[in-house]
């Protein structure tokens, strides 16, 4: 797959995909003889995965760290525990975030209910 195909299927821009490679989020992307990037199915799966991490607000720096561990651990399992811990740390943060969102949402619902009350009084 070439860059525009990946852009189309992931929703990321070609600019962003090149930038991901530059910062080390995408590693060892192949080229054809013209120097154009060729993405594999594995690359797509990886982009899907980091897309979810991003959706959970993982900082790009941390994703790059995960990518590094993944590459270093290609042949062995030396980095398995480190990767799991990184993900667990993030899971914890997401849980806390969701809890805070839920709490704020309760307040917001109260406020909206109050506005409805005001409007009814004047109806």
Q: Rounded to the nearest whole angstrom, what is the least distance from the CB of residue 53 to its own copies in the complex?
A: 8
CA–CA dist 105, 33 (Å, integer): 54
Classify 52 in phi/psi space as left (phi over 0), alpha (psi -120 to 50) or beta. alpha
Q: Rounded to the nearest whole angstrom, what is the least distance from the CB of residue 90 to its own copies in the complex?
A: 7
> Residue 32 or residue 120: which is nearer to its own copies going by CB?
120
Q: Which does 37 bind (CB under 5 to 8 A by kind): DNA, its own copies, none?
A: DNA
Q: How far apart are the first and last CA of the chain?
A: 61
CA–CA dist 62, 54 (Å, integer): 10
Residues within window 13-32 making contact with DNA, judged by CB under 7 A:
13-16, 18-19, 31-32
Q: Rounded to the nearest whole angstrom, what is the least distance from the CB of residue 114 to its own copies in the complex?
A: 9
Residues within window 60-89 making contact with DNA, judged by CB under 7 A:
60-61
- Is residue 94 involved in binding DNA (CB under 7 A)? no
């Amino acid at each position: 797959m070439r860059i525009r195909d990946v852009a189309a299927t992931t929703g990321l821009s070609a600019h962003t995909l090149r930038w991901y490679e530059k910062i080390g989020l995408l590693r060892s992307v192949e080229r054809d003889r013209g120097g154009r990037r060729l993405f594999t199915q594995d690359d797509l799966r990886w982009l899907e995965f980091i897309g979810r991490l991003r959706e959970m607000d993982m900082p790009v720096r941390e994703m790059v760290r995960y990518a590094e561990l993944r590459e270093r651990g290609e042949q062995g399992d030396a980095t398995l525990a480190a990767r799991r811990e990184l993900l667990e740390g993030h899971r914890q943060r997401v849980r806390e975030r969701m809890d805070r969102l839920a709490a704020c949402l309760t307040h917001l619902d109260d406020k909206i209910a109050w506005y409805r009350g005001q409007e009814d009084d004047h109806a």
